[in-house]
Amino acid sequence: MKKITILIAIVALFAITLNGVNSDYIITKVDSNQLFKTQAFSGKMIIENNNRTLTKQFYGYAVKKGEKSFIKFTNREDYGVKYLRIEDQLWIYFPDADDIMKIAGHMLKQGMMGSDISYEDMLETETISKDYDSSILGEVKIGSHFCYKVKLSSKHSKTKYSSQMMYVEKKTFIPIKIEQYAFGGRLIKIMTQSNIKKIGSRYVPYKAVVTDVRKKNSKTTVMFNKISYDLNIPDKVFSLQYLREK
């Protein structure tokens, strides 16, 4: 009888460990999927508005240390337009003028290349836990995915969103749906993430669809073709010289 009691206690302990997760644990796992020393990626961005579609191809690199990122657009219409972000500063190279323009900090909230994804969103390298407090609201099923429903509340006024509702897939800890709210409490964007692949020890969504609910019949889809993490990227990539040269 004593052995059975111990066995039940041990099984119960495992059950608590697996199911009794708290929001901090979930967000840490979400962050660990997104955290990297360096990152390289390529893909395309499809901007849809009513019946019109614009497709932009790009590739880029990012490093966490110093929060630096570089993106080059390679579709014919935008070929050679390049972005360099270092912390909160952004520079754009325009091939038509053969010149680099420093973009004002306040412009980081603008949609990148006119999409529903801002420069801040696209080039974000910060962890969620640094900017948001989290609380778990329950478990829900979205499609075939079992998810934790987590609410993120902004810790300070510098964040773009006052709160976010995140539906974090239990298996991979990928937020497969994120609702983003402005400081007035209004829902402004919904993002869904899919086509999840495993790279090393982390799970990565290769497709994201962002809908700005303030616009009718408008959405932006980002589809990555290749993503790689923690490779050796020289410092020179994140410089004015590389912005002109590459």
- Nearer Cβ to other proteins (38/133): 38
Whole-number minimum distance, CB 10 to other proteins, in Å?
6
Structure tokens belonging to residue 47: 């901007």
What's 114's DSSP letter? G
Contact 110, 104 (CB under 8 A): no
Contact 156, 131 (CB under 8 A): yes
Whole-number minimum distance, CB 19 to other proteins, in Å?
12
- SS3 assignment, position 6: helix
Whole-number minimum distance, CB 30 to other proteins, in Å?
15
- Nearer Cβ to other proteins (135/226): 226
Nearest-angstrom CA–CA distance, 154 and 31: 16
Pinpoint the alpha helices (H) of 45-203: 119-122, 128-131
- Nearer Cβ to other proteins (105/126): 105
- Nearer Cβ to other proteins (46/165): 46
Whole-number minimum distance, CB 174 to other proteins, in Å?
10
